Chain A
Amino acid sequence: MIPEIGHAALWLAAGLALAQALAGFRADGGRIAVPAALLQGVLCAVAFAALTWAFVKSDFSVALVAGNSHTAKPELYKWTGVWANHEGSMLLWAAVLAVFGALAAIRAKGLGERFRTVMLSAQGFIALGFYAYLLIASNPFARIVPAPIEGSGMNPLLQDPGLAFHPPLLYIGYVGLSVTFSFAVAALLLNRVTPEWARAVKPWVLGAWSFLTAGITLGSFWAYYELGWGGWWFWDPVENASLMPWLAATALFHSVGVLAARGALKNWTLLLAVVAFSLSMVGTFIVRSGLLTSVHAFAVDPERGIFLLVLLAIYVGGALTLYALRAGTVTAGTPFRPVSREGGLVVNNLILSAVLGVVFLGTLYPLFLEAATGEQVSVGPPYFQTALLPLLLPLVAVMAAGPLMRWRAMDWAGLGRRLVPALVLGIAAIGIALALGMRSPLALAGVALSAWLAAASVMIFRGRKLKRVRRIPASVWGTALAHLGIAVTTLGIAVSGAGTIETLANLAPGGRLSAGPYTAQVDDIMPAAGPNYTAIRAMLSVTGPDATIVLAPERRTFVNPGNETTETDIWPRLTGNLYAVLGPGDGSGRWQVRLVWQPMIALIWIGGMMAAFGGLISMMQGRRRREDME
């Protein structure tokens, strides 16, 4: 009964989405669109709760639960298992979309009734497509007769707290950009591309961006400790799929700032708003269609892929056509000099767009080439690193200068004076790194840039009195924290990239191996058991200059479904992580043991989370300003 309630709620929500979409064509459509948006939020919450109930109660008469759950699965993963499969994750997508639609109906009043109705109408069109997709091509509530007594279980790689919360964060980011998209569509239709529009849309972009940042950071951390390879970014198509909307959103909230302050870059900002959510949909399409197969593509189904592709064509094609038709009517904004805050943000957008272009091309190139010539080619880390470094290094260099520049115009000498402390710290950092034995020129450049950016991020507070600290706007705190976060991540990438030491040996109990300053001895290799798996566990006693510790990496064999995973054991500290992996045995009592010393690698994720919090803090500022206006 409860799954049927969920199913019915989805159909009702779809009907409301249709009404909401059509409401935009009526002058008094707001009377329909606002309640429709609010009710959809409630109905989607009901549908999602119904599916959650089926998973938690292990109702195997629901085909999705039978295919993806098991009674012996730990309780947490019964809850999070709801979105660890194709249909469930699409329902989560639609539910987040509905909640954002309801939020937009409540909050987006500042631009007038007509604007809100048209914006909600665009939001309704988007929602309608995804409800159709759910109801026609991937119904999460389909029953199975007869109901099996036991389910087939969940991929053990996904039974992990990191991955449990990675999809919701990412989806809030992806789908949050839909509001930005609808704002852009409404602005184009009503010719309302004004600084007020930019101020109204900015909190939505910042909010979505913060969640995307947190989601990507968490995903990277999960890949690092769960997959057992010690890497933190693999340039996998699915990772790139989340990076592309992030890059577009990063460029977007910077250019929205220019539009809000100076009324300039109107067309460009609109285009970015359309592109950012389009890339979110491309990302969903890539992951969900299995078109670019990768570790994450656990739903390989071409028919669904075509459905999603048609949706993508309608939304992206429609929005870009609208843009092409209307962009010419948007008036130009106030002029500014190349050396100014606006000019700095233009450089930011220029480089970010080039980075986005490279990631897009590199991700889809194998597909293009195979379609055109039938040749198969792989594009992976060596390409992305070589192609992106010449863009990323200057990007980090100029992002230090940006917040220190004045609006409208500034002279080079003034900017130079403000950057003196950063320059001094950057050079000092090279000296320290050289003294500590770092020799790789690339890593030295990374360390120097990190110090340069960190110092400049603190310089954002120059001239502000400590006594009046409460008067400092939230956006200044947010910018400083986010930029400092990027500096911290840069340092982590540079130091761990240059200093990682990896050793591998086939060892029997008593054997030893070393990585960096640490030596591990295999004390024992023994069987172990968990709630739904059996394991082989190695007990490694590690001695180093500063401490002694025991690491216990495992190889787990899951039942239901039968699957093997490596369970790394990591000793994480700010100075570095010691990462231990137990590999396969050779059958004669020796086991492959991998020990990796990764200096300062944790900074990569710490910096990412700092950036995400910085975005949230800045978002508060946007809200306050908007309330002032109302």
Chain B
Amino acid sequence: MRALLPLAFLVLTAAAEGPALPPAQEAAARTLMHELRCLVCQHQSIADSDADMAADMRAVVRERIAAGENPEQVKSYLVSRYGDYVTFDPPKTGANLVLWAAPLLFLAIGAVAVWRLYRRKGA
């Protein structure tokens, strides 16, 4: 077991994380990272992944924020590059509108059912 230890040091080094940011910018970057999907992982955000690609994407986010872009701009850049799949926040357009309307829709259907329940019994 001991013989393996130096090897472990080698294996554990990974890709760079991008430039160090001042706290406010870093916080904005972290918030955005939680909304971006790691493309090679299974349902993990790039903030939550150890994959090299996630580290690369974190570096891209930090570089662009450091260059003065706001998180929305960084996100649109990544969406233009990787498609809607990269964001956990599905755009409110097209078929996705059904998804976003779902809470109200389900509540309305339920409310109609409840109203009918009381009307039927109300007398």
Q: Which residues of A contact B (CB under 8 A)?
A: 227, 229, 231, 234, 236-237, 293-295, 297, 332, 335-336, 338, 346-347, 350-351, 353-354, 357-358, 361-362, 365, 369, 372-373, 375-383, 387-388, 390-391, 502-506, 527, 529, 534-536, 555, 557, 559, 564, 566, 583-587, 592
Contact = CB atoms under 8 A, between A and B. Distances in A.
Contacts of B87: 378
Given A383-B90, A534-B1, A536-B8, A566 B50 contact: yes
A373 B93 CA distance: 14
Given A369-B95, A378-B88, A381-B34, A587 B13 contact: yes
Contact of B8 (A369, A535, A566): A535
A227 B26 CA distance: 22
Contacts of A372: 95
B43 A536 contact: no
A350 B107 contact: yes
The 3 lowest CB-CB distance pairs between A and B, nearest first, are A380-B88, A584-B14, A382-B89
A298 to B, nearest CB: 10
Interface residues of B, number: 56
Contacts of B28: none
Interface in B1-54: 1-2, 4-5, 7-9, 11-17, 20, 23, 26, 30, 34-35, 37, 41-45, 47-48, 50
Given A358-B102, A557-B12, A379 B121 contact: no
A527 B8 contact: yes
Contact of B12 (A294, A297, A382, A585): A585
Which has the most chain A C-beta neighbours within 10 Å: B12, B83, B114? Answer: B12
Contact of B17 (A293, A527, A592): A592
Interface of B: 1-2, 4-5, 7-9, 11-17, 20, 23, 26, 30, 34-35, 37, 41-45, 47-48, 50, 55, 83-90, 95-96, 98-100, 102-103, 106-107, 110-111, 113-114, 117-118, 120-122
Contacts of B30: 502, 504
A564 B50 contact: yes
A564 B17 contact: no
B111 A383 contact: no
Given A379-B90, A380-B88, A387-B100, A357 B8 contact: no
Given A229-B48, A295-B44, A353-B106, A559 B4 contact: yes
Contacts of A566: 50
Contacts of A379: 88, 90, 99
Given A378-B85, A380-B89, A387-B102, A335 B12 contact: no
B12 A227 contact: no
Contacts of B7: 534
Given A358-B102, A592-B17, 13 more contacts: A234-B43, A350-B113, A361-B102, A376-B85, A377-B84, A379-B88, A380-B88, A387-B103, A534-B8, A557-B4, A564-B12, A584-B14, A585-B14
Contacts of A391: 103, 107
B120 A332 contact: yes
B89 to A, nearest CB: 4
Nearest to B83: A376
A566 B99 CA distance: 35
B103 A390 contact: yes
A364 to B, nearest CB: 11
Contacts of A592: 17
A506 B5 CA distance: 22
Nearest to A559: B4
Contacts of B13: 584-587
Given A231-B48, A391-B107, A566-B50, A557 B11 contact: yes
Which has the most chain B C-beta neighbours within 10 Å: A293, A350, A378, A535? Answer: A378
A555 B72 CA distance: 34
27 contacts: A227-B48, A229-B48, A234-B44, A236-B43, A294-B43, A338-B118, A346-B117, A350-B113, A354-B107, A354-B110, A361-B98, A361-B99, A378-B43, A378-B85, A380-B35, A380-B37, A381-B88, A383-B88, A383-B89, A504-B30, A505-B20, A527-B8, A529-B5, A534-B7, A536-B9, A557-B4, A585-B12
A396 to B, nearest CB: 16
Contacts of B99: 361-362, 365, 379, 383, 387
A365 B88 CA distance: 12
Which has the most chain A C-beta neighbours within 10 Å: B35, B107, B118, B122? Answer: B107
A504 B88 contact: no
Which has the most chain A C-beta neighbours within 10 Å: B16, B41, B100, B110? Answer: B110
A231 B45 CA distance: 11
Contacts of A534: 1, 4-5, 7-8
A388 B103 contact: yes
B89 A377 contact: no
B11 A585 contact: no
B12 A378 contact: no
Given A353-B110, A564-B50, A566-B50, A377 B85 contact: yes
Contacts of A231: 48
Given A376-B84, A376-B85, A382 B107 contact: no
A382 B88 contact: yes
Contacts of B26: 504
Nearest to A389: B103
A354 B103 contact: yes
A329 B81 CA distance: 57
A354 B34 CA distance: 26
Contacts of B96: 377
A369 B35 CA distance: 20
A527 B5 CA distance: 7
